[in-house]
Structure 1
Amino acid sequence: FAPGEKAVFCTGGRDGNIMVWDIRCSQKDGFYKQVKQISGAHNKAESHPPPKWKKRRSSTRGMAPSVDTQQSVTVV
């Protein structure tokens, strides 16, 4: 983003997604839609995936499996 750019910004959430917004476009029905979504942006990178037999199903629905729900992401 360019310094002083007031129309483009990002938001991040506990669901592991970062959304890029541009308020100059995508306005429909009174609300805006993101222009770009980065999924799993808050996942920790693993050097190698765990063996399949140790994989557990996440009990938190709608969130990426490796999202730490105790961490918060804030963008200003």
Structure 2
Amino acid sequence: MSTNNSTPENSIASEQNTDHRITGPHHEPPTVANATTYWRCEACERESIREQDLHREAFHAEDCGVADRC
């Protein structure tokens, strides 16, 4: 029995309010040429292979709610 009460990252409970956060790393399928990992802003749906890009306000769309927290 686990004593850890935190919500697993991939559980349904962790998907609440996913529209205003940065998620990743996401892995492209191996069938994609030059497959890589990337991060996504769920609010404005922009993606980057560099996580630090998503922590810059200028990266996000003008009306993005995540940009306000950068």
More RCO (CA 8 Å, sep 6+): 1
**Both structures adopt the same fold (TM-score exceeding 0.5):** no
The structure with the greater share of residues assigned to helix is 2
Q: Provide TM-score, normalisation by structure 2.
A: 0.23
